[in-house]
Chain A
Amino acid sequence: MNFELTEEQQLIGQSARDFAKEYLEPIAVELDHSGTFPKAAVKALAKHDFLGLLLPSEVGGAEAGFVSYVEVIENLSRYSAAVASIVNNHTIAAYTIQNWGTAEQKKQYLPGMAKGEVLGGFAIYEHGPTPGVGPDALVAIKHDEGYVLNGKKAFVRNAGEAGVYVVFATTDPALGAKALTAFIVKADTIGIKIGEKLETMGLKGCPVADITFENVVLPETALLGAVNEGAAISAKALAVVSVAEAAQTVGIGQAAVEHAAAYAKQRVQFGKPVATLQAIQTLLAEVATDCHLARLGLQNAAALIEEGKPFEVEAAMVKSFLVRLGSKMLLDTCQVEGGFGYSEFMPLPRMFRDIAGTNLLDAPGDFPEKLIAASIA
């Protein structure tokens, strides 16, 4: 049993950390205030191959593997979890096309996505209780030459910036989610309207909006995977992205505990640095421990994904662990920094908002426990 990352994985993680320090640290505060999409940073990400990390070399990807991917996401998230979210949503769209696309679809879309010339988006959620159900459900009606889509997708990240979306629509409103089907949709397709950008609590700079589809005509070649295979595709893709989002949470937590530890070493109370006080040591030690254990868990899930083995239960365990402890990490580190830590001129409030996003999005809180329980009982 070997817990060591390979030399390449370590170097890729270090590259991501150096990249984030140079390109993301200087813009993180401004991004949090303005919420403006960081075009220059995304261009730089592409130049360093981060946007094609998982894709095979035939389409111009780096083919670095999923363990490297979570290393990259953790290190980007130390400085800007919002930018890591942009990468995650792009990557999951590319991952879906890579795994369920036809040879023609891969050839058409993946080279541009690997180079970062085309950003990807993943449109699964709707305002109804589950995709394919409710008055706004996105419905795809079969016609002779393809499909016509009407309805709405909700909370689509990278909305308005992506050039191509992986979109899930039901082909039969009576069957709802059971008839969910995946499509590849270009952003400039007639009938697509990007809604107003949603103001979010955190992860600002990663745009979120609804997308409305009005008589959007898609050719048969836009179908991704088989008809009614969408639920299985989205479940797998969301399980994969939940591991990457766990890496975001750990990256934020690690950055927070390192900031709090540095603060505690220089903050003097009662004649000595507060880092020497047992109460502060306990807080720092607990957060560092939570980060370490979560990292081990997500690296394990990432290795299973990379090896093509079942990973969903392990991914759910990591998600469950971080849903319980992710926000606590930030509460505890804020506690270490006291009134200063609560102030907006310090980074912890931004990290607090960001970690809420990485915990809340893409996997509802009750989902992981259901899967874990089913695996043991």
Chain B
Amino acid sequence: MPKCLVCYKWTLDEQDIKIKPEDLSLDSSRAKGKISDFDRNAIEEAALLVEKNGGAVDALSYGTPTVKQSLKDCLSRGPEKAYWIADASAESADANVTANVLAAAIRKLGQYDLVLFGEGSSDQFNQQTAARVAALLGLPCLSFVQKMSVEGDVVKATRKLEDCVENVTVKTPVVVSVLSEINKPRIPSLKQVLGAAKKPNEEVKIADLGLKPEDLQPKAVRKSVKGFVMQRKNIIYKETSAAENVAKLKSSLAAEGLC
């Protein structure tokens, strides 16, 4: 019966983020939070594994103080207990910092058979956290997992690679990152939503994790984030014959190196 820990990120809902037309900067002042999309798949997979095999699921998240808003949503999706690390360092954390914090927290929380992640976060999609956490904990890492099962202490997984699928087995403990196609996250029922308030959650203080100041310094520093807006040239060729219009279009595309 596997003991699972699923790690998730509390991100801004990209649907609520507006691009300011004057400088393409992002306005997230009215954006609500959500559990990162791939991480919902990870939570669902952990819940399904435990529903099938028995065991237990806990959840862990590291974020800014807003991470606390995620707990009921997370707990309504299956986990029995949620651990949360709220620290301002998460605002500028890169995958290195996030992995340092999560790995230290997992060491503190104790032994888990499976540590699950979504393949990447909805906001930055670095796809690095699971692999980095596995490296820090000295555990094997299965990434791009589209199907998995657990039999005793063996995890069987199908990994979707660029040009093939790979079937692998690995003994627990193991870190797994899942693709969105692995399952369809459940829509929590009303009783699951209301029941989430009765489940326990516990803050893990970052100061208690034994991290050095440099562990919380991002190596990749984000200087700016700007929206991408496609600018149309709105050129209309108005020659008398279609052939001339086509010729002009072709030379225009060639001038831009597009044909």
Contact = CB atoms under 8 A, between A and B. Distances in A.
A304 to B, nearest CB: 22
B194 A15 contact: no
Nearest to A48: B189
Interface of A: 7-8, 11-12, 14-15, 18-19, 22, 47-50, 53, 62-64, 68, 271
B187 A11 contact: no
20 contacts: A7-B72, A8-B194, A8-B197, A11-B72, A11-B76, A11-B193, A11-B196, A12-B190, A12-B193, A15-B190, A19-B187, A47-B189, A49-B189, A49-B190, A53-B190, A62-B190, A62-B191, A62-B194, A63-B194, A64-B190
B234 interface: yes
A22 to B, nearest CB: 7
The binding surface of chain A is classed by DSSP as helix
Contacts of B189: 15, 47-49, 62
Contacts of A49: 189-191
Contacts of B169: none
B188 interface: yes
B73 interface: yes
Contacts of A22: 187
A3 to B, nearest CB: 14
A50 B69 contact: no
A131 to B, nearest CB: 33
Contacts of B190: 12, 15, 48-50, 53, 62, 64, 68
Interface of B: 69, 72-73, 76, 187-191, 193-194, 196-197, 234
B188 to A, nearest CB: 5
The binding surface of chain B is classed by DSSP as helix
Contact of B187 (A18, A53, A62, A64): A18
B72 A64 contact: no
A11 B73 contact: yes
Which of A15, A19, A63 is the most central at the interface, judged by chain B CB atoms within 10 Å of its CB? A15
Which of A19, A48, A53 is the most central at the interface, judged by chain B CB atoms within 10 Å of its CB? A48
A22 B191 CA distance: 19
Contacts of B194: 8, 62-64
A15 B188 contact: yes
A18 B35 CA distance: 14
A271 B232 CA distance: 10
B218 to A, nearest CB: 30
Q: 6 closest A-B pairs (Cβ-Cβ)?
A: A49-B190, A62-B190, A48-B189, A18-B187, A49-B189, A11-B193
A15 B196 CA distance: 13
Nearest to A271: B234
A204 B153 CA distance: 54
Which of A11, A18, A62 is the most central at the interface, judged by chain B CB atoms within 10 Å of its CB? A11
A374 to B, nearest CB: 37
B230 to A, nearest CB: 12
Contacts of B197: 8
Given A19-B187, A48-B187, A49-B189, 18 more contacts: A7-B72, A8-B193, A8-B194, A11-B72, A11-B196, A12-B190, A14-B73, A15-B187, A18-B187, A22-B187, A48-B189, A48-B190, A49-B190, A49-B191, A53-B190, A62-B194, A64-B190, A68-B190
A62 B191 CA distance: 6
Contacts of A63: 194
Contacts of A12: 190, 193
B40 to A, nearest CB: 10
Nearest to A52: B190
B198 to A, nearest CB: 11
A24 B97 CA distance: 42
A111 to B, nearest CB: 14
Contacts of B196: 11
A101 B259 CA distance: 77
Contacts of B73: 11, 14
A18 B189 CA distance: 11
Nearest to B232: A268
A15 B185 CA distance: 12
B187 A8 contact: no
Contacts of B188: 11, 15
Contacts of B187: 15, 18-19, 22, 48
A343 to B, nearest CB: 26
A53 to B, nearest CB: 6
